[in-house]
């Protein structure tokens, strides 16, 4: 299949996205697909496709519905500055954060009739909103750390805010942007004196702020592929939390796959992960992160609808533990997207 690998963009997680996109493109080629890498930062020069034979006007031979689909896809490619590239069969979304993960690009691709990997518009938007996600966790009976949502317009150092955090959440606590990933803008706040600067840091990323109870314990994560929970991974960071440095600097974290937990705990965490994943209407693949307290309680932190996709990222690690090598993993993700698109009538006629 012809696969458009969309990556980069202008989010704070741009570098991580580029790493994922390049790894995905390489694996897709290994799996026998034609992969075209596209950085969606519109300021950059985009790749073009060599024309090896005279163009053939195939569109005139298609039905009205097929003609419309071809036109929609060409318009979408034009918007990306890719007018010379033939319409793809599938778009692989290697984004992290921003419009690429919050439903924006998903809506664009749906209007274009291009099948795309991962979750749809609604699940993507909810997954990027930590406050709304946690409300859903609570509604379906899945524990999540206590939290406060703070509007970005609220004064960061007001005594009212400091007292609210102290009374409802307590210290230490976690302060994070409501709609960022990769632990960008996240702080561990030990006392009232550190709260103002932590809120100001999180506020730089917009979308509000979440102040969350700090839960001591172990970091566990469950990757999901096609409605199946993969082996549980335990993350052992060098820092107090699994922050940006621990995620993306070699040697700053260790990973235990599968996690050394009781069978009953493994069964429960996989069940909770699927429950959350389905409640948010996620599709294709994703990852659900938990904190496992010393008392044996599981706390769901968040759902990642477009998790990292380098060979050493968490989802590929879990897949490998289940006997799925990286090229097979990306191939399965692409085929899931293609099947979903086919059900919606988004399959191009051969030759287009």
Same domain as 231, residue 279: yes
Q: 100: closest CA among 304, 277, 268, 245?
A: 304
| Residue with more model confidence, 71 or 135 | 135
Q: Which residue in this structure is represented by tokens 């929970």? A: 229
144-148, 195-199, 327-331: segment of lowest average pLDDT: 195-199
Whole-number average pLDDT of the chain: 86
- Best mean pLDDT range from 13-22, 82-91, 113-122: 113-122
Q: Each residue of 20-48: pLDDT tens digit?
A: 999 999 999 999 999 999 888 744 444 44
Task: Please answer whether residues 243 and 185 qualify as being in contact, where contact means their C-beta atoms are separated by less than 8 angstroms.
Answer: no
- In this structure, the answer to whether residues 243 and 299 fall within a common structural domain is yes
- Quick one: average pLDDT of 69-93? 70
Looking at the structure, tell me whether residues 95 and 6 fall in a common domain: yes
User: How far is C-alpha 79 from the chain's CA centre?
Assistant: 23
Q: Can you give the pLDDT at residue 250?
A: 75
Q: What DSSP designation does 122 have? A: H
- Rounded Cα distance between 330 and 23, Å, is 10
In a domain, 310, yes or no: no
Give yes or no for residue 323 having a pLDDT over 50.
yes
290 assigned to some structural domain: yes
Q: Are 292 and 218 in contact (CB under 8 A)?
A: yes
- How far apart CA 257 and CA 248 sit, in angstroms, is 18
Structure-model confidence comparison of residues 312 and 195, the more confident one? 195
Q: Is the pLDDT of residue 59 over 60?
A: no
Residues 182-198, mean pLDDT to the nearest whole number: 87
pLDDT at 65 over 60: no
Q: pLDDT higher for 155 or 39?
A: 39
Show Cβ contacts of residue 229 under 8 Å, excluding neighbours closer than 6 positions: 222, 223, 270, 271, 273, 274
Q: Output the furthest CA–CA distance in the chain (Å, rounded).
A: 72
- Could you give the CA distance from residue 305 to residue 308 in angstroms, rounded to a whole number? 10
Q: Establish if 257 belongs to a structural domain.
A: yes
Kindly state whether residue 139 falls inside one of the protein's structural domains. Answer: no
Q: Which residues pair with 302 in a beta bridge?
A: 289
Give kind and range of the element (H or E) at residue 7: strand 2-7
In a domain, 221, yes or no: yes
Domain boundary among 213, 237, 268: 213
The fraction of the chain above a pLDDT of 70, given in percent, is 85
pLDDT number for residue 245: 76
Report pLDDT for 62: 40
Residue 158 structural domain: 146-213
**Residue 190's domain is classified under what CATH number?**
3.30.1490.20
Question: 233 in helix, strand or coil?
Answer: strand
Neighbour-count burial for 192-214, b at 16+ CB within 10 Å, e otherwise = eebbbebbebbbebebbbbbbbb
pLDDT of residue 320: 96
**Angle, in degrees to the nearest 10, between helices 314-321 and 326-343:** 100
**90 vs 239 pLDDT, higher one:** 90
Percent of residues, the chain, with pLDDT higher than 90: 61
Look at residues 195, 213, 231 and tell me which one is the last residue of a structural domain: 213
- Residue 175 half-sphere exposure toward CB, CA atoms < 13 A: 31
Which carries the bigger pLDDT value, residue 293 or residue 39?
293
Residue 151 placed within a domain: yes
What's the distance, Cα to Cα, between the start and end of the chain in Å? 12
**DSSP output for 246-311:** HHHSTTSEEEESS----HHHHHHHHHHHHHHHHHTT--SEEEEEEEE-TTS-EEEEEEESS---ST
| Sign of the torsion angle spanned by Cα atoms 40, 225, 181, 112 | positive
Beta strand pairing call for 34-39 and 2-7: parallel
Residue 255 near residue 182 (C-beta atoms within 8 A): no
Query: Phi/psi at 49 (nearest 5 deg)?
Result: -100, 130
The whole-number pLDDT of residue 230 equals 98
Q: How far apart are CA 192 and CA 198, in angstroms?
A: 10
Alpha helices in 31-103 (DSSP H): 64-79
Residues classed as catalytic: 13, 182, 248, 287, 289, 302, 304, 308
Residues sharing a CB contact under 8 Å with residue 92, sequence separation 6 or more, in sequence order: 3, 4, 5, 6, 24, 28, 35, 116, 117, 330, 333, 334, 337
How many alpha carbons lie under 13 Å from residue 342 in its C-beta half-sphere? 8
- Same domain assignment for residues 7 and 99: yes
Asked if residue 351 has pLDDT above 60, the reply is no
What tens digit of pLDDT does each residue of 114-151 get?
999 999 999 999 999 999 999 999 999 999 999 999 98
pLDDT, greater one: 279 or 12 = 279
Count of structural domains within the chain: 3
């Amino acid at each position: 299949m012809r696969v458009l690998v969309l990556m980069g963009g202008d989010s704070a997680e741009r570098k991580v996205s580029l790493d994922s996109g390049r790894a995905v493109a390489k694996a897709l080629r290994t799996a026998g697909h034609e992969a075209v890498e596209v950085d969606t930062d519109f300021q950059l020069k985009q790749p073009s496709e060599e024309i090896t034979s005279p163009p053939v006007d195939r569109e005139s031979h298609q039905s009205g519905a097929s003609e419309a689909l071809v036109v929609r896809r060409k318009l979408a490619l034009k918007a990306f500055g890719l007018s010379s590239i033939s319409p793809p069969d599938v778009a692989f979304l290697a984004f992290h954060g921003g419009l690429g993960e919050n439903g924006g690009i998903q809506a664009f691709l749906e209007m274009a009739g291009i099948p795309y990997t991962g979750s749809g518009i609604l699940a993507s938007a909810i997954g990027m909103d930590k406050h709304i996600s946690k409300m859903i966790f609570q509604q379906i009976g899945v524990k999540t750390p206590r939290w406060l949502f703070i509007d970005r317009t609220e004064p960061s150092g007001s005594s009212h805010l400091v007292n609210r955090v102290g009374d409802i959440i307590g210290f230490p606590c976690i302060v994070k942007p409501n709609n960022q990933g990769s632990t960008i803008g996240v702080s561990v706040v030990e006392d009232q004196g550190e709260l103002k600067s932590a809120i100001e840091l999180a506020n730089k990323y917009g979308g509000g702020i979440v102040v969350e109870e700090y839960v001591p314990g172990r970091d566990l994560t469950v990757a999901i592929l096609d409605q199946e929970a993969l082996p549980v991974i335990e993350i052992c960071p060098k820092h107090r939390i699994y922050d940006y440095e621990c995620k993306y600097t070699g040697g700053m974290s260790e990973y235990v796959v599968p996690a050394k937990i009781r069978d009953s705990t493994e069964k429960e965490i996989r069940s909770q992960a699927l429950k959350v994943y389905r409640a948010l209407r996620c599709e294709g693949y994703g990852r659900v992160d938990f904190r496992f307290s010393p008392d044996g309680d599981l706390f769901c932190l968040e759902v990642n609808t477009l998790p990292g996709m380098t060979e050493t990222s968490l989802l590929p690690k879990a897949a490998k533990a289940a006997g799925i090598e990286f090229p097979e993993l990306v191939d399965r993700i692409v085929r899931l997207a293609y099947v979903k698109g086919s059900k919606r009538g988004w399959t191009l006629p051969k030759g287009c």
